[in-house]
Amino acid sequence: MTEAQTPAPADTAPESPDTTAAPAPPSSPGPEERIATLEAELAEMKDRWLRAEAEVQNVRNRGKDEVEKARNYAVQKFATDMTEVAENLRRGIDLLPRAEEGEAEIIGKMRGGFEGVERFLLQRLETHGVHRKPAEGQPFDPELHQAMSEAPAPEGVEPGTVIQAWTSAWTLNGRLLKPAMVVVAAKG
């Protein structure tokens, strides 16, 4: 064999696949990084879920409060009208002549009938949360009373005391429905 016939060492090497042009796949995160990412996502989802649950509970509570208020105060206009009826009935009873011996029997029966109607009306109103608050002799309370005038304090009466009530105060489930119209003892 001659030199020309002998293959060169580069020519004799077996062909290998091309390894120089292929890009390396992106390195995947390690298990610790993957766990940290998943825990962060879990914490975010848990926070979102808790906030959504809180919002749902708030909506329920607001709805419940609105229904309760509607139930308690839906009759406010009607209750105000009925307090006017009760006030007028009381005025009518007060205008009846005082009971006297020898009066006509019909007058006594009318008085008793009107007073019975008034008691029944007040009981029905109270059953539905409407209460009359007498004002005369009480200290003036701007939450319940509307001062119509002041008058000199009678002897033995503290200034600021209601000395005359034209109407009573009325409340509906603890909320002022109608203030009492009063005359207050003047100070000094």
Per-residue pLDDT of 62-100, as tens digits, reads 999 999 888 777 888 899 999 999 999 999 998 888 888
Looking at the domain assignment, is residue 46 inside a domain?
no
| Residue 60 in domain | no
- What's the structural domain count of the chain? 1
CA–CA distance, 21 with 26 (Å, rounded to integer) = 15
Q: Does some domain include residue 69?
A: no
d(CA 110, CA 101): 15
Position 82 in a domain = yes
Residues ≥6 apart with Cβ < 8 Å to 96: 107, 110, 111, 114
115 located within any domain = yes
In contact, 168 and 180? CB cutoff 8 Å: yes
> At 160, phi and psi to the nearest 5?
85, 5
Q: Residue 179's domain spans which residues?
A: 75-185
Give CA–CA dist 100/120, Å, rounded: 25
pLDDT the model gives residue 99: 82
Cα end-to-end distance, the chain, whole Å? 146
Q: Is the pLDDT of residue 58 over 60?
A: yes
Look at residue 51 and tell me if it is in a domain: no
pTM score of the predicted model: 0.61
Distance CA 113, CA 92 (A): 12
Percent of the residues in the chain that have a pLDDT greater than 90, as a whole number: 60
Mean pLDDT over all residues of the chain? 86
Pick the range with the lowest mean pLDDT from 7-11, 50-54, 119-123, 162-166.
7-11
Confidence grade of residue 6 (pLDDT, cut at 50, 70, 90): low
pLDDT tens, residue by residue, 125-150: 999 999 999 999 999 999 999 999 99
92 lies in a domain?
yes
Query: 127: buried, middle or exposed (CB in 10 Å: 19+, 13-18, 0-12)?
Result: exposed
CB contact at 8 A, 162 and 172: no
pLDDT at position 185, please? 93
Residue 177 counted as domain residue: yes
Q: What is the pLDDT of residue 36?
A: 92
CATH number at residue 93: 2.30.22.10
Which pLDDT belongs to residue 25? 57
